[in-house]
Amino acid sequence: MTMNFYAVRAIYVFEMARTGRTLWQSIVSPVISTSLYFVVFGAAMGANITEIGGIAYGAFIVPGLIMLMLLTQSTANASFGIYFPKFTGTIYELLSAPVSALEIALGYVGAAATKSIILGLIILATSWLFVPLKIAHPFWMLAFLVLTAFTFSIWADGFEKLQFIPMLIITPLTFLGGSFYSINVLPPFWQTVSLFNPVVYLVSGFRWSFYEVADVHVGVSLAVTALFLVACLAAVWWIFRTGYRLKS
């Protein structure tokens, strides 16, 4: 049977409207907090830090900052979008509607990802106010942005603890994933450990698209990111298919 595109659109529009209503939390506050990171790490501390890979520290951390916000916001948005109806009970409608797991995921993840992408672009624009940036590969920059936004929006769907996951998993992974440093500065042992952190590949690939400087080869970054996306898609598909924690 054909897809229920009206449902995908309905969910997407509904979620985007929610973003519109909560514009302040959704867009403005992450921009402010990113600017603060930027002022502290980039301007205040960065002045005393030498260049990394021939790039000024202030400019070096921009991709990392965008990734940090992208990951936390994508997760928070998508998980909120799906689990809030569960808390309020309105999920009955979603469960009783003629929609497949894929359609529900497309609607929610699409909206969360859209929001994250807009957010990423706004942060990028904000960064321009602080440091001179160059984007060597705008297409790949966008590709990483979109891929990451989708991956982490999907990832969020599997978890109920809205604050717990971003705080305990995503934030550490991002900070330790080379957002603010190159993993090449680490001792060899910790470099190897870092390679198990998927965020390393995201940040590295994303940074490459700006400066053509990367911790791991861009092809590997792209492959790992895509693999991660597929794994996350499979997980969310399984959740809706089995009704895990959503249905008794």
Partner 1 sequence: MQPIISINGLSKTYATGFHALKGIDLEIRRGEIFALLGPNGAGKTTLINIICGIVNLTAGSVTVDGHDIITDYRGARSIIGLVPQELHTDAFESVWATVNFSRGLFGKPKNPAHIEKVLRDLSLWDKKDSKIITLSGGMKRRVLIAKALSHEPDVLFLDEPTAGVDVVLRKGMWQVVRELRASGVTVILTTHYLEEAEEMADRVGVIDKGELVLVEDKAALMRKLGKKQLVLHLQDKLEAIPPALSNYRLSLSEDGRELTYSYDTQSERTGITDLLADLSRGGIRFNDLHTIQSSLEDIFVDLVKSDLVTPDLVTP
Cα→Cα distances 225→150, 205, 228, 247, Å? 10, 9, 5, 31
Which of residues 53 and 243 has its CB atom nearest to partner 1 in the complex? 243
Shortest distance, CB of residue 236 to partner 1, whole angstroms?
Answer: 18
Shortest distance, CB of residue 240 to partner 1, whole angstroms?
Answer: 12
- CA 105/CA 233 separation, integer angstroms: 8
* End-to-end Cα separation, the chain, in angstroms: 26
Which of residues 92 and 190 has its CB atom nearest to partner 1 in the complex? 92
- Residues in contact with partner 1 by CB under 8 A are 1, 4, 6-7, 9-11, 13-14, 17-18, 21, 88-90, 92-100, 243, 247-248
Which of residues 6 and 164 has its CB atom nearest to partner 1 in the complex? 6
Shortest distance, CB of residue 27 to partner 1, whole angstroms?
Answer: 17
61's CB contacts (< 8 A; 6+ apart) are 37, 38, 41, 42, 46, 179, 180
Shortest distance, CB of residue 46 to partner 1, whole angstroms?
Answer: 41
Which of residues 94 and 149 has its CB atom nearest to partner 1 in the complex? 94
Shortest distance, CB of residue 239 to partner 1, whole angstroms?
Answer: 14
Which of residues 24 and 189 has its CB atom nearest to partner 1 in the complex? 24
Residue 87: half-sphere exposure toward Cβ, Cα within 13 Å: 9
